[in-house]
Amino acid sequence: MEVGFLGLGIMGKAMSMNLLKNGFKVTVWNRTLSKCDEVVAHGASVGETPAEVVKKCNITIAILSDPAAALSVVFDKDGVLDQIGSGKGYIDMSTVDPETSCKISEAIALKGGHFLEAPVSGSKQPAETGQLVILAAGDKALYEEAVPAFDVLGKKSFFLGPVGNGAKMKLVVNMIMGSVMNAFSEGLILAERSGLNRHSLLDVLDLGGIANPMFRGKGPEMLKDNYSPAFPLKHQQKDMRLALALGDQNAVSMPVAAAANEAFKKARSMGLGDLDFSAVFETVKLLKHSS
């Protein structure tokens, strides 16, 4: 099976490498073409433009940084729309708002192509180990055709119905994740200022009802001030913003998420946007030092 892959950031690089390791033929494109070199060394081909990739492959996957990038790859000159058509499918695994997914879906349908949104839950390590959770919505036949690739990329894929539902599910998941990370950060500081051992707190949390892989994986690194990016903070803040907009559309009051978003915005203003989203911990530490 041959697939195209657009976008070789932290996630895209790991995902395309997994496809190659599992016997898929992969043609890749990235806005900075030099980022293709490593996957090419492992057997991938390179397309000079998104259109060239779509022309060559019946199924093309994209995972891009934000709605603007997702729209650009589709609608710009030499973009996906230049070559999409009957018999070709486009799968956008980026985290975007439902409106962006619907706009892309409508444009591809007008060209006779098939569209699936399929954002993923998981960051760098799950992408590298094929343990993502795939939240697909849109063309059911394209979903079925893509299942062999999804089985390589993830531990579970869900088909959630019409276009927009995948984006909504991903925003809800990331809104919860970002809010919990802020509460976790505050808890670490509260433990320290109360005279408790922060490592003991991690041990207690790991044995209780709220034990989870995020605390287990991020906590020890946060205590070492290690924020090597698995999921960049700037993308987490973007997802909080989009989730809050979804709340506005549905008249859902979200004061906890709104407060968490402000913390991520503060972290971005401190120059932490390219670090892991757990670097929001630094905003709480800053408040401690200024008090």
Output the CA torsion 143→146→147→153 (10° steps): -120
The three-class DSSP label of residue 225 is coil
Taking the mean position of all CA atoms in its chain, how far away is CA 104?
A: 18
Q: How far apart are CA 61 and CA 114, in angstroms?
A: 12
Active site residue 170: yes
DSSP state of 118: -
The continuous run of DSSP H or E covering 168 comes out as helix 165-193
Cα angle at 31 between 29 and 32, to 5 degrees?
100
Selecting among 13, 88, 168, 170, the annotated active-site residue is 170
Q: How far apart are CA 289 and CA 192, in angstroms?
A: 13
Catalytic residues: 170
